[in-house]
Structure 1
Amino acid sequence: MKNNYFRKFRHSLAFILSFLPGALMAQQHSEQNHAHYVVPKDSLVRQKLAQWQNIKFGLLMHWGTYSEWGIVESWSLCPEDEGWCVRRGPYASNWYEYKRAYENLQTTFNPTKFNPERWATAAKDAGMKYVVFTTKHHDGFCMFDTKQTDYKITDAKTPFSKNPRSNVAKEVFTAFRNQNFMVGAYFSKPDWHVPSYWDPYFPPKDRNVSYAPKKYPQKWQQFKDFTFNQIQELMTDYGKIDILWLDGGWVRPASTIDSTISWQRTIPYDQDIDMARIAQMGRSNQPGLLVVDRTVTGEFENYVTPEQSIPDTYMPIPWESCMTMGDSWSYIPKENFKSARKLIHTLVDIVAKNGNLLLNIAPGPDGEWHSEAYGRLQEIGAWLRINGESIYDTKPVAPYRQEKWAYMGTERATYHTYLPAEQEIPPTTITLNNVSTARKPTVKLLGYAKVLKITTSPTEILVTLPEQARQWLTTQPAWVFKVEK
C-alpha cells in the first residue's frame, strides 16, 4: 500500500506544479530594525567577519526530500493560512495523512547523481567564494549523519544511505573546502518532526512550538538539548566550519520580540534555546565562528540577512542579501532563472551598498542542478574574471548608488560601474562624476587594453570611447571604469 500511495502522490501533476513561486518568507526577514547591531567582542570573530565581507559572493543550496515533489521546502507541513503553506495533491485535505506522506519521502530519496565536486568547480568558476548548505530545514530531515534522530539521509530507511557518499553535508563541505571556500552550515532552529517541538499530544496550530514551554519546561529542555547536540555534531565532526547560519527566527527569547514587526507579533511563547551556550560551544570547536541567528538582533547575529530583497541605501553594518537564482528556494521542475545580466547587476548593487550576495541554487531529487544554473554561473564568471577587482576586497564609495552608477573602491583606485539596460548602445563619450581631479587621474576600462582619452574638470572626467571599445561594451552586462588615484 505504501508504494502505491507514494507513486500516486509523486505523479500528481497538479501537486508537482503547485508551488512555482518561491517568494515565500521574504516579508519575514525584510522588516527588521538593524539600528541595534552589536559588534562582536571576539577578535577572531571580527577578523573572520572582515574576511567574509571581502569575498562578497556566495552560494546557498536548499536541498532535501521535498525536491522529490518539486514543492516549497518544508512549509506545506505548516498549518497556517498562508500562500506558501498551501497543500496540494490527493492527501491535502488531511494534514495527518499529508505529513505522513511527506515524511515517508525519506524511503524513496535517492539522489544518485550527487556530485558536489561539480558544484564546487562551477561555483568557483563563477567567482563564488563561500557556501552555505542546508544541513536541516524546518521539516527536520537531516542531510547529515546525526546521532540524535533516524530522520536523516544516512538512515537505513533512505535508499541513498547505501551510497558511500550518503553523509551529504560532509561531502559538500569537503568538496567546497577543497576549492578554498569559506563553509557555512544552514541549520533550522525549529524542527517540525521531533516530538519535543511539535508534541503529538498537542497538534500544531502554526509554525511555533505546539505547547507552552513555560508550562512544560522539561519537554522544552529536551528540545534545547536536542538542538545543542545536533549543532555540536556539526561543529565537531565536519571539518572547519566558518559560518553557523541559523534560520527560523520565531525560535527566540520573548525579550527579543519586536512588536513593531508584523510577523514577530504572532510569536506566542518564549522560545529561548540558549544561544550563548550554543555560540560558546561552537567557537570552542571552531575559533572565530560567525554566528548568524537570523532576525534576532544582538550579539548572535554577526551579520544581517535581508531575504529576496536589497536595502534601498548603503548600510554601515555587515549584511548579506540571500536571493534565489530562479523563483524558488527549493527545486521545481521548471524554473524561471534570472538572466546573467540581472544577477550581475544585483551583485554590483549589493556590493556598492556594503553587502554580500548569497545566491541560492536548488539541487533536484537526482542530485543535480538544472543545466540553466550552470550556464548562468558561467556567464557571471566570465564577467567577474574581467571585472572582479571592482568587487572583491573593495569598499563602497559615496554616493554608493546613483541612477545607473555604482561606486566601489580601494586605497589606490575607485571603480565606477555603469549598469546598462538591455541592448543599450554605449555613447561616444561618457562622464564620470564624483571624482577628484586634483591629481591628474588615469582611467581604464576593465577588459579593454588600450589607454582612454580623457578631459578633466574639477569634479568630472569626460571619457572618450573608441569605436572598438563601444562595440565590445555592447556585449557586456556592466561597464567598469577604473579611476586610479
Structure 2
Amino acid sequence: MRRRELLKHLAAAIPALAASPYIFAADGQSESMAQGPFTPNWKSLSNYRTPDWFRNAKFGIWAHWGPQCEPEFGDWYARAMYEEGSDAYRHHLEKYGHPSEFGFKDVIQEWKADQWDPDALVSLYQKAGAKYFVALANHHDNFDLYDSKHQPEWNATKLGPKRDLIGGWSKAARKHGLRFGVSVHAAHAWSWYEVAQGADKSGPKAGIPYDGNLNAADGKGKWWDGRDPQALYAQKHPLSRSIADGANFDEQWHWRSGASVPSKAYADKLYDRTVNLIDAYDPDLVYFDDTVLPLYPVSDVGMRLAAHMYNRSIMRKGQLEAVINGKILDPIQRQSMVLDIERGQSNQIEALPWQTCTCIGSWHYDRRVYDSKSYKSAQTVVQTLIDVVSKNGNLLLSVPVRGNGTIDEQERAIVEEIGRWIAVNGEGIYDTRPWFVLGEGPAMESAAPTTGQGFNEGKNKPFTAQDIRFTTKDGAVYAFAMGWPADGKLTIKSMRSGGEYLKKRVARVELVGRGKPLAFKQSAEGLHVTLPSEKSALPYAIALKIA
C-alpha cells in the first residue's frame, strides 16, 4: 500500500474507531486489541511509517532500573546468582546467603528505592539534551515496575519500593516535555530463569534445590505467604536442552536450539501484562528486548501487541505517533517497526530510521564500574551520537541507577558534560537528516561489522580530527570534526570543488555556537577551513555550519 493510500485508509478508519474502539479479546486473554487499519501480520504491519517526532529527537536517555540494581553487581544478576561458581553467585553467598534460602524474590523484598526522585533525574536529562526518556517496565526477572493487573503478586506497587515506578517516570517525563517510552524484557523469563530450578553440584549445599522450585504452599509462615513464586520464576515446565548436551544459548535466545517453548498461558499473560502497560501509561515508544518481537516466531503475541499499539495511537491521536523497537529484523520487519542495534552502530546511512542503545556502564548498576572509574566518557557518548545521527539513527543512552534510586557523582558529571556540548552544538543534531554521504576519515576505512543484535561498539579505530560526519537541515550542511586539528586547519574532502555532492560553491562557513564566519578556501582537494585561534570548550567534537 502506498503512503497516500495508507493515509486515506487511516483517515477513513478514525470515525469508526471512535464509535467502536476495540475488538473482542482472543481466547485465553482478558485484554482487548485496539481496532484499526493494522492487523497482526507482516503485510499489514509493514505499512508503518516512523513518526517525525522520533526522527527529529535523535537523543534519548534510559533508566534501565529495577530490583537487579539493588545488589549493585551488574547485569543479569537474577540469573547469574543461580549459576554456581560465578562472580554473582559468590557475591550473593557473601551478601545474602545461599540461593536455596535467599533467592531473587528476597532481593526484591530488600529493594526499597528510598531516595528515588524521578522529577530531579528527568529534569537533569532534559537539560542534558534528551528529547525522549525510556523507563524499564520489567526485565527478564519478570517483576513488573508498575501497577500490573496481570502480575498482581510480583510488582513494585506491592513489593520492594511499594510505588508505581512507571507512573512516576511518566509524570516526570511529561512535566519536562519529553516523549515517554517503556522497555519490556519479560518474554525471556521462561528460559532465562531456568537456572533458578537448579541446585549446587558440589559443596555443603549440593543437591538442595534453589528457590525457583518453590510454590505458593511453601510460603506458609514466610514473608511471601500468599504469593506464588512460580508467578515470578515461571519454572514449572521442562527445561531447555542444556549447553552440556550441545545446546547454544545464543540460539535459544531466538527460541531455537532446544529452547523450551513457552505455554499458551504464559504467552497470553505476557500479552495481557503488556496491553495493560500500554493502555494505563500511554507510552509513545515501546522497546522490546527481543529478536523481532516478544516470543517471535513461536507465538504471534508480538505482532498482536504491535497492531494494538499502532491502532491505539491512531484512535487516540488521530495519527500514528507510536514507535516500537525490535532487533535483528528482515526487510519486511524493518518496515514494520524501528530497528534497534544494541551496543553497536550501522556502518552506512540507513534508508529507514533506526536506533542504537548503549550504556555508560553495565545495564544494571555495578559498583565495580564506579570503583574503577570505567564509565564511558562524555566524549565517547558525544562522538557516538554524531556518528549515529549521520547514518539516520537515534541514540538511546542508559545511565545506570543505583538500587536506592540515585545516580552517582561520576555519572552526573558525564551527563552534565553531554548537556554542555549539546547546548552549543545541538543545532546540527536535532531535526536533521543524513547528507549524501555519512562522512569521511580513517575510522570509516575498517569499520567493524555488527554481530547478532549489534555488539560492534568499541571495535573501530578511535576517532581523530580527520574523521568527519555530516548532517543537513534547512539547506545547510553540518560537518562535525571528531577533534580539533593541531594546526587549526580542517580539510573536508567530500566538499571539494567540482565534487559529486555539492551543486553550488560554498558561500559561508561558521563554527556552530559562535556565528562568526570562518576563513575558508574550496579547491579540487577539498574545503579548507581555518578554525579560530581559541579552541572550543569541548574540542573533541566541533560542528561547522556550511551554507
What is the TM-score normalised by the length of structure 1? 0.75
Question: What do the CA deviations read for 1:269-312 (whole angstroms, capped 9, x no partner)?
Answer: xx314223222222343333222233354448511111111223
- Whether 2:464 is the aligned partner of 1:429: answer no
Equivalences for 1:427-466 in 2 at 5 Å? Answer: 427-435=487-495, 436=502, 438-457=504-523, 460-465=526-531
- Alignment correspondent of 2:278: 235
- Whether 2:451 is the aligned partner of 1:413: answer no
Displacement of 1:314: 2.6
- Alignment correspondent of 2:235: 199
Decide whether aligned partners of structure 1 residues 475 and 203 sit closer, same or farther in structure 2, where only a CA change above 3 A counts: closer
Decide whether aligned partners of structure 1 residues 135 and 202 sit closer, same or farther in structure 2, where only a CA change above 3 A counts: same
What stretches of structure 2 of length at least 5 have no aligned partner?
Answer: 1-41, 194-228, 243-248, 315-319, 442-466, 496-501
For residue 480 of structure 1, give the secondary structure of its aligned residue in structure 2: strand
Decide whether aligned partners of structure 1 residues 227 and 252 sit closer, same or farther in structure 2, where only a CA change above 3 A counts: closer
- Alignment-mate amino acid for residue 433 of structure 1: K
Q: Do the aligned partners of 1:473 and 1:479 also contact (CA within 8 Å) in 2?
A: yes
Question: For 2:98 and 2:231, how far apart are their aligned partners in 1?
Answer: 14
Query: RMSD of the TM alignment (CA)?
Result: 3.4
- Alignment correspondent of 2:287: 245
- Alignment correspondent of 2:437: 399
Question: What do the CA deviations read for 1:221-276 (whole angstroms, capped 9, x no partner)?
Answer: 211221111111111111x311121114395444xxxxxxxxxxxxxxxx314223
Equivalences for 1:30-429 in 2 at 5 Å? Answer: 41-42=46-47, 45-46=48-49, 48=51, 50-74=52-76, 76-77=78-79, 87-89=89-91, 91=93, 97=99, 100-149=102-151, 150-155=153-158, 157-158=159-160, 160-161=161-162, 166-188=163-185, 189-191=187-189, 192=193, 194=230, 198-203=234-239, 220-238=263-281, 240-249=282-291, 252-254=295-297, 271-287=298-314, 288=320, 289-297=322-330, 298-299=332-333, 302-326=337-361, 328-334=362-368, 335=370, 336-403=374-441, 404-420=467-483, 425-429=485-489
Question: What do the CA deviations read for 1:104-140 (whole angstroms, capped 9, x no partner)?
Answer: 1121111111111111111111111112211000011
Match of 2:539 among 469, 476, 480: 476
Question: What do the CA deviations read for 1:46-101 (whole angstroms, capped 9, x no partner)?
Answer: 252x3212211111221111111112333552699899996333649xx9935952
Question: What do the CA deviations read for 1:339-361 (whole angstroms, capped 9, x no partner)?
Answer: 11111111111111221111111
For residue 434 of structure 2, give the secondary structure of its aligned residue in structure 1: strand
What is the TM-score normalised by the length of structure 2? 0.67
Question: For 2:44 and 2:469, how far apart are their aligned partners in 1?
Answer: 27
For residue 376 of structure 2, give the secondary structure of its aligned residue in structure 1: coil
For residue 355 of structure 2, give the secondary structure of its aligned residue in structure 1: strand
What stretches of structure 1 of length at least 5 have no aligned partner?
Answer: 1-36, 255-270
- Alignment-mate amino acid for residue 285 of structure 1: R
- Alignment-mate amino acid for residue 481 of structure 1: L
- Alignment correspondent of 2:6: none
Same amino acid, percent of matched pairs: 21
Question: For 2:101 and 2:349, how far apart are their aligned partners in 1?
Answer: 43
For residue 188 of structure 2, give the secondary structure of its aligned residue in structure 1: coil
For residue 533 of structure 2, give the secondary structure of its aligned residue in structure 1: helix
Decide whether aligned partners of structure 1 residues 425 and 401 sit closer, same or farther in structure 2, where only a CA change above 3 A counts: closer
Question: What do the CA deviations read for 1:192-234 (whole angstroms, capped 9, x no partner)?
Answer: 475598333535667769x99x9x99x8221122111111111
Question: For 1:98 and 1:442, how far apart are their aligned partners in 2?
Answer: 70
Q: Do the aligned partners of 2:338 and 2:354 also contact (CA within 8 Å) in 1?
A: yes
Q: Do the aligned partners of 1:76 and 1:84 also contact (CA within 8 Å) in 2?
A: no
Displacement of 1:430: 2.5
Decide whether aligned partners of structure 1 residues 127 and 147 sit closer, same or farther in structure 2, where only a CA change above 3 A counts: same
Q: Which moved more, 1:303-312 or 1:135-144?
A: 303-312
Displacement of 1:175: 0.6
Question: For 1:292 and 1:194, how far apart are their aligned partners in 2?
Answer: 29
Decide whether aligned partners of structure 1 residues 370 and 38 sit closer, same or farther in structure 2, where only a CA change above 3 A counts: farther
Question: For 1:396 and 1:99, how far apart are their aligned partners in 2?
Answer: 55
Displacement of 1:184: 1.3
For residue 473 of structure 1, give the secondary structure of its aligned residue in structure 2: coil
- Alignment-mate amino acid for residue 487 of structure 2: P
Question: For 1:137 and 1:203, how far apart are their aligned partners in 2?
Answer: 20
Question: For 2:232 and 2:92, how far apart are their aligned partners in 1?
Answer: 29
Decide whether aligned partners of structure 1 residues 58 and 80 sit closer, same or farther in structure 2, where only a CA change above 3 A counts: same
Q: Do the aligned partners of 1:292 and 1:302 also contact (CA within 8 Å) in 2?
A: yes
Displacement of 1:477: 2.2
Displacement of 1:472: 2.4
Q: Do the aligned partners of 1:39 and 1:299 also contact (CA within 8 Å) in 2?
A: no
Decide whether aligned partners of structure 1 residues 283 and 438 sit closer, same or farther in structure 2, where only a CA change above 3 A counts: closer
Displacement of 1:399: 2.7
Question: For 1:124 and 1:234, how far apart are their aligned partners in 2?
Answer: 24
- Alignment-mate amino acid for residue 348 of structure 1: I
- Alignment correspondent of 2:10: none
For residue 291 of structure 2, give the secondary structure of its aligned residue in structure 1: coil
- Alignment-mate amino acid for residue 99 of structure 2: E
- Alignment-mate amino acid for residue 283 of structure 1: Y
- Alignment correspondent of 2:24: none
Q: Which moved more, 1:240-249 or 1:377-386?
A: 240-249
